[in-house]
Structure 1
Amino acid sequence: MTTRSTSSNSTFIGIQSQSTTGISEHETPMACTSTSLPTSILAGWSTRLGAAILQVDNQERISSIRSNYQNLITLDTKIASRIKRFDSDRRQFLMTGHCLILTDQKAVSPGYAAAVRFEHEAEFHPGLLSDLLGRIADDVWAEVLAKIPELAAFSSCVISDKTRGYTIGKTLFNIMSLTKNLKVPLHTDINDAHWTLVIWMHGGVGPILNGWFGIPALGLRFLPTTMTVAVFNAAALTHGTTECSIPVGTSACRFGSSHFLRMPDLANLVCLRLGAQSSGINLQELKEMAASARLKSAKDEVSALRAELIAAGKAEMLNGSVEAWKDPAVQWRAWS
């Protein structure tokens, strides 16, 4: 059974037992200055949060988020980490964050290759990209926590000494994507942890038609407005976005950005560090070794050493594995 509560600027979907309902439509409320808690329909300890649709209403955060995303867009061609998904013939996803791409034989530090090179070569501000991503992620997550403080329990399941430096800003997420006017077919992201958020921003001038975002299992479909945020379990809930229609002669556009915790990357980075420590290898020396690898034989050597260190790190892991981070029991308190 799903239950729904809508406040002046938030929609909360509660799950009390498993069910599938039809798709319903409603507009996401525009940003306003008031915030209210879910009504009694979601009260009690038996109800867990299934999804939440929020509207960023803090004007200072809105200004900061827009400004920092604009700076990220400006850096697009320099960090150049664009990928294809869903059988597209175009690289429409700008990917950033603290990943470990194992198909890249030289990858031994968090980040997509182009972004790692960008920060390594930046003389004036080597941490420019990391700082920029941190400001974006912190602003959006702060807005989410202001409306759903229970999600702080999820952060505490992820952020620890083991994961330091591998999440973005002060948040629990390690990867951020950005798209523009993109249709995304229904899918699940099976490698993501329990919670994912998506924020939408409108740019240019003119209306944007269609472009519904939906989570069919929760009977949820809505048109994002600018600064709408969706929080949900992307690994378990099928979701997608229909095609946007931009009227001819207008400059309107919609950006969509996902913040998520991709579990294999976090696990491999943690294990790489643990394995290096147990083997007496300095990670900085490993980075320099990878950076200087030009011949295939040298790249193969880096890749083989990386695999050995990750395996050693997995053997060092105590109390199970990082898979435990996928199942935080975030429950609602009894609202007064």
Structure 2
Amino acid sequence: MTRVESSPAAAENRSGTTPVEVVIVTGLSGAGRSTAARVLEDLGYYVADNLPPELIGRMVELGQGTEPPTRKFAMVMDVRSRFFTGNLSAVTEHLRSAGLRTRILFLEASDDVLIRRYGFARRRHPLQSESADGTLTAGIAAERARLSTVKTAADLVIDTTALSIHQLHRKLEEAYGGDAPSALQLTIQSFGFKYGVPLDADMVLDLRFLPNPHWVPELREQTGQDAAVSEYVLSRPGAQDYLSTCRHLVDLTTEGYRQEGKRYMTVAVGCTGGKHRSVAVAEELGDLLGAGAKNGSGDVIRVVHRDLGRE
């Protein structure tokens, strides 16, 4: 039996602090457990795959020792786990009695959709070899029968038969995302083209069309973070129009990302060396978008300078 009564999390919960959450993610193979795990991870859950029930309490205790403490955990369980050899109701009841907010998410889909997904993935069903005739259909039927009681005990059942990945993403965010299900992490990164374009850039802005402060003697040793350089760059013809257009593009793109369930975006702002123009514009764009704090959409925006100081 899972032991959690003496854990720090249980003591904190009884004292009235924010409860620790445990989400058990299970369901039919091919119904979307891996997608659910990725979504929950993006929502701030610590995700463990096929962790034995006896170690749940220990995982929670370890999470309380981190800084800041981890308060949201998700465990992905499939039919091969020892989780299904015991009593699920007893495990969840024990966790809840210790003050942990425990919920079960069950994912399912129709047989024909599961068969089609396995065909695309070219994977073998975990119960296929145990079935009488060794067919995929028999393996799915065996799993469905074995998980019937688990489905009954679930707090939330999602049928992914007719759902796209993005639709499933939104359903999970609505169920587990709390007050800011659509928050996006936006990074504005300055860089120098001579050092290479950032590989993780989702959008690249090229500032090399603006006059280079490097050729102004009194500005050469300064950077785009200095007021004199910033004023020089932002006052060049076309700079403000370009900045306004970039902000509009970023706003349009981030809104599309939220609709598609994407949670991370990197805007790379480049000039020749990553010292003057790109730094000044990245700082200004960050200010316009609300860097350093959540904006009106709940997004978290930060500005970083990859190549500043390399010259």
The structure that is strand-richer by fraction is 1
Say which one has the larger Rg: 2
| TM-score calculated relative to the size of structure 2 | 0.23
Between structures 1 and 2, the one with greater helix share:
2
